[in-house]
Amino acid sequence: MPELKVSAIKEGTVIDHIPAGKGLKVIEILKLEKLSNGGAVLLAMNVPSKKLGRKDIVKVEGRFLSEEEVNKIALVAPTATVNIIKEYRVVEKFKVEVPEVIEGILRCGNPNCITNHEYVTTKFYVISRNPLKVRCHYCERTMEEEEILANL
Amino acid sequence: MDWKGRDVISIRDFSREDIEVVLSTAERLEREMKEKGQLEYARGKILATLFFEPSTRTRLSFESAMHRLGGSVIGFAEASTSSVKKGESLRDTIKTVEQYADVIVIRHPKEGAARLAAEVAEVPVINAGDGSNQHPTQTLLDLYTIKKEFGRIDGLKIGLLGDLKYGRTVHSLAEALSHYDVELYLISPSLLRMPRHIVEELKEKGMKVIETTKLEEVIGELDVLYVTRIQKERFPDEQEYLKVRGSYQVNLDTLRNVKETLRIMHPLPRVDEIHPEVDRTKYAIYFKQVFNGVPVRMALLGLVLGVI
Ligand SMILES: [Zn+2]
């Protein structure tokens, strides 16, 4: 089956190779449902993929990602690639990567952790990438994928 | 490793070499304390003990340690009597208290509070228990007790008995023991087994771990039996607590076929997991263990203050 074609965008970001079913989560963590520039957001779900079998794709018009956002995507969709589009062309393309230390973007799932009670920038050490597992710098509790997604 | 100014937050931060430094310093201070009674290393230094949750034993042990080093102590024993009650943040409390003290000992009901305090404070911070997370000085005094009794830690067979699921002290002790060449026996009712991720971590570090529900089958092998209490307050569900309450007890009968050199330890306080008749046997060393907290805490205070 040929890969599904979705209309091109003039300027913006295409997040490709998202594991099937995680596209909505990517939209959610990037808060694209409230895109303020009036640009279009396209979500393609369950698209056939040579690499992944099935994948999701998110295209965002007129918006680029911060490093923090790229790191967030890595936690949700570690296989994702980010394409930066200018004048209908891919001007930059890179794979997301789970950083060794995750600072600020994740809440601790331990309700009794000091970070949930006091103003503290959270910090987690990645102790395993596949499956994803992180340890809180403060309370030392570990979180696995499901809990991480719930606390992004 | 430069000890002056160092924080003591988690046993995870300690290498075997670090542990050995603390144990040998404690040994030296205990000897000097016996010879001279009062030491002067921390003369003019002030310790602040911030107990946001009461723990009289731990606080007294730290205060005793500081006094024996010749230093003095300020602090509070309950958050409800301090400005914390008025809603002051931990950050602000620490920034204030460090103006008065050279070293801070903190006990706090929230996990991670000690780490945060250490990041905020310019003076060294020692964790005296943060929620169900860490209590590193307890682990160090446990190791000191074992070393004192046997002259070594390597080569011993060590059994941990009781609530291995929620017991903070046994988690840390097991982790610290993974630096040594010991065989670890994990003895508990099946509902209270050591969490899987901890057992896996220990095995990955090359430790020999034996899990069992039957104390009588392994007690004859052991050099050390470390008994813990079932802490009702740690159970999320009272039904679960009721199922395991009183499910094990060490008494004279239990001790019929043990090694002459067996030593029984307990972090105290106990409820009914060790019968009082055991106290009179040569095996019981849990009150010595309490005493050992003082030289170990003296060593830590002296090291982080940079005075010994
Ligand atoms: Zn935490």
pLDDT at residue A4 is higher than 60: no
Q: Report how far residue B68's alpha carbon sits from residue B294's, in angstroms, rounded to the nearest whole number.
A: 9
Report the chain B residue with the minimal C-alpha distance to residue A112. Answer: B110
Per-residue pLDDT tens over the stretch B225-252: 999 998 888 888 888 888 888 889 999 9
Total residue length of chain B: 308
Cis-peptide into B269, omega within 30 deg? yes
Average pLDDT, chain B: 95
pLDDT in the model for residue B148: 98
pLDDT at position A89, please? 93
Cis bond upstream, residue B54 (ω within 30): no
- Asked whether the predicted pLDDT for residue A136 surpasses 60, the reply is yes
Give the burial class of A115: count Cβ atoms within 10 A of its Cβ; 0-12 exposed, 13-18 middle, 19 or more buried.
buried
CA of B115 to the centre of ligand 1 (A): 11
Catalytic site includes residue B147: no
pLDDT-derived band at A36, boundaries 50, 70, 90: confident
Residue B83 has pLDDT above 70, yes or no: no
Cα-based angle A137, A140, A142 (whole degrees, multiple of 5): 105
Please tell me the least confidently modeled range out of A62-71, A135-144, B119-128: A62-71
Per-residue exposure over B227-247, b if at least 16 CB sit within 10 Å of its own CB, e if not:
bbbbeeeebeeeeebeebeee
Radius of gyration of chain B (CA): 19
The model's pTM: 0.91
Write out pLDDT tens, residues A61-110.
Answer: 999 999 889 999 999 999 999 999 999 999 999 999 999 999 998 999 99
Q: Are A111 and A136 in contact (CB under 8 A)?
A: no
Asked if A118 lies within 8 A of B115 by C-beta distance, the reply is no
Question: Would the ipTM clear 0.85, i.e. be above it?
Answer: yes
Residue B36: partners with Cβ closer than 8 Å, 6 or more residues away: none
CB–CB contact B110 A140 (8 Å): no
Average pLDDT of the residues in B193-221: 95
Q: Quote the CA–CA distance of B22 and B302 in Å, as a whole number.
A: 10
- Does B107 participate in catalysis according to the annotation? yes
Torsion of CA A43, A47, A53, A55, to 10 degrees: 0
What sections of chain B are H helices per DSSP? Answer: 16-36, 56-68, 90-97, 113-120, 136-150, 168-177, 196-204, 215-218, 238-244, 286-305
- List, as ranges, residues 103-132 from A with C-beta within 8 Å of B: 108, 110, 112-115, 117-120
Instruction: Reply yes or no on whether B213 is catalytic.
Output: no
Residues of B in contact with A128 (CB under 8 A): none
Q: How far apart are CA A103 and CA B11, in angstroms?
A: 23
